[in-house]
Homo-oligomer: A and B are copies of this chain.
Amino acid sequence: MKSGDVYDPTCSARDALELIASKWAMLILPALREEPMRNSALLRKIGGISQKMLTQTLRELERNGLVIRSDKQTRPPHVEYTLSPLGASLGDALSVLDRWAERHFTALDEARERFDNERV
């Protein structure tokens, strides 16, 4: 357990990196940054996610102290997900990546086409 080196596979900073290097975490955290949301709202917001993966990822994020789950004990159920301060700081960094992807995906597409055409 050294002093935080992601390049060291035995350091648990690596575990942290693998947690945040998940495509769903990269969408959920920035989504919650805008506003706290319920399960169904996240399901609608994040296209292509399954109920299972949403629950699973939220549980992991909650477990690591990034997301706060608040269950008003009502019928029908009403559960809201919020970012913790720690989660908010990570959400900021992740939303930068989201915006990078939105800005540059065409460049990636073009590069891929060029590469694949050369290597016929």
A: residues with CB less than 8 A from B are 4-23, 26-27, 31, 45-48, 62-66, 86, 89-90, 93-94, 96-98, 100-105, 107-112, 114-116
Contact = CB atoms under 8 A, between A and B. Distances in A.
Contacts of A7: 27, 31, 45-47
Contacts of A19: 108
| Copy count, this protein chain | 2
Given A7-B45, A65-B111, A110-B65, A17 B101 contact: yes
A60 to B, nearest CB: 9
A30 B20 CA distance: 16
A36 to B, nearest CB: 17
A16 B62 contact: no
